[in-house]
Homo-oligomer: A and B are copies of this chain.
Amino acid sequence: MSELFDGVLATGPVRPEVGDSAWLKAMLDFESALAEASADAGLFERAHADRIARTCREAYFDLAELGARAAATGNPAAPLVRELTAKVGGEAAAFVHFGATSQDVLDTAAMLVAVRALKALRPDLRACADLAASFAETHSSTVQAGRTLLQQALPVTFGLVAAGWLAGLDAAGARLDAQRPAVQLGGATGTLASLGAHGPAVVAALAARLELAEPALPWHTERSRVTDLASALGQACGTVSGIARAIVLLAQTEVAEVREVGPGGSGGSSTMPHKRNPVAAVAADACARQAPGLVAALLGSAAHEHQRAAGAWHAEWRPFAELLRSTGSAVHWLRTSLERLEVDPGRMRANLDTGGGVMLAERVTTELVATSAGRDAGIPAVGRLEAHDAVARCCERALAGAGDLVDLLAADPLVGSRLSARRISDLLDPAGYLGSAAVFAERAVALHRAARGRTHRERGEGS
């Protein structure tokens, strides 16, 4: 966290959910729920639990002081428990943190932080998907140059492009929704020995109170929940990065098929008054680029020793929070970019036309082969490679300025003997050669609408 840089690198609603106050609250929520769950299980009187819970809600804790004292034991949970115990006081003090260990506090807090961060992130991610779906529908017949290796290839529609974005966003959302963060409670070595036979009951009650999953056994050093969440976030960032870079490329001065139109001065340059930078897409990409290293950090510290790791556990805290923060910020910036996005169908068509029809040369090749594959008596069949080479020769001459491609093809002995100039001209029209672009885009939108409907119903929301 940095006040100076977070305007760019940690924007949006996730940031406050992963800051110090959010962690402190989550740790106190754990202690509070643990006390109540222990009382549920009959371990001690309800009054003690209530007193602990009230203190967790109301008492003030000095974050900087807790942090400073964390150095002595190696984690901030230990000083928090000491402080909380002192604040609770009286008989109830003996039941603070009862049966738990520092890692129980921090691991459960991490899961709560994750749940709350994801809850803040999902509306932004859904908004991105809705915007992509809207582009997919609005531009279902907006012809655009398809580009492979950044070279114009065959035509696509901008609707199909947006449908691809949508598919990635929905896949990312589904992976995040599949997360089932679980409570952590095992005591010093995962046996909950100090709770006697009550361990499982307390775990169940704790999970219910915190609305987290109940694990089969403590997972102090079985970190698949952490790496699975990390992977889902990393995947979301990969999707955001792909869309953001596409926007940056389409917004290039020389391409200019889209641009971000932001409020006031946003996107302006300090030295160049004429520039309109795709700031939101750039920032989205900058945030999303944090993910591979952060996921690698979490995977690289996934092997935890025995009943508590000597370093690998502590090493998780920073990348775990950073990954939530960066992903939240990346998604929020992408939403901003998509909200600002202006699409220029005229420029898309104009860019497509600069190639002089060469783009659809493949179509002529295919037609030549298909025609020759017919039973047409006099004309000998032509193989795919042969057709390909003939067309390629004409294209090279057209690109070299030797004339219009239709004329050159019509004059070619192999091509002209099989196809009329008019047929060649039709074949070279991009709008007539979009294959299943519309069908594919519709499918992605339909899946999105169906998933959105499910979500609405599950939440009991209206439309």
Contact = CB atoms under 8 A, between A and B. Distances in A.
A76 interface: yes
A164 B286 CA distance: 23
A312 B358 CA distance: 26
A245 B311 contact: yes
B273 A391 contact: yes
A270 B81 contact: yes
A227 interface: yes
Nearest to A218: B440
Interface in A150-167: 150-156, 160-161, 163-165, 167
Interface in A220-243: 221-225, 227-228, 231-232, 234-235, 237-239, 241-242
B277 A242 contact: no
A147 B304 CA distance: 11
Interface residues of A, number: 197
A449 B319 CA distance: 35
Contacts of A199: 435-436, 439-440
B63 A4 contact: yes
A116 to B, nearest CB: 16
Nearest to A245: B303
Contacts of A91: 373, 381
B160 A217 contact: yes
A433 B193 contact: yes
A149 interface: yes
Contacts of A326: 318
A441 interface: yes
B248 A224 contact: no
A306 interface: yes
A276 B245 contact: no
A64 B254 contact: no
Interface stretch (A34-42, A50-58, A123-131, A363-371): A363-371
Number of identical monomers bound together in the oligomeric complex: 4
A420 interface: no
A189 B277 CA distance: 15
Given A150-B305, A167-B222, A194-B362, A72 B265 contact: yes
Nearest to A441: B217
B315 A447 contact: no
A426 interface: no
Interface stretch (A205-213, A338-346, A382-390, A453-461): A382-390
A191 B299 contact: no
Interface in A373-416: 373, 381, 383-385, 388-389, 391-392, 395-396, 399
Contacts of A78: 270
Given A150-B249, A248-B150, A436-B191, A5 B224 contact: no
Nearest to A265: B72
A242 B254 contact: no
A82 interface: yes
A200 B446 CA distance: 15
Given A187-B435, A274-B355, A282-B74, A303 B238 contact: yes
A322 to B, nearest CB: 7
Contact of A8 (B70, B82, B439): B70
A55 to B, nearest CB: 15
A296 interface: yes
B290 A167 contact: no
Contacts of A251: 150-151
A304 B296 CA distance: 19
Interface string A266-284: 1111111111111101110
14 contacts: A7-B67, A8-B314, A8-B317, A72-B266, A74-B267, A150-B248, A191-B435, A242-B303, A245-B303, A252-B255, A273-B361, A282-B311, A292-B300, A296-B300
Given A222-B239, A282-B311, 8 more contacts: A72-B265, A94-B384, A97-B270, A153-B308, A154-B188, A156-B190, A248-B311, A300-B300
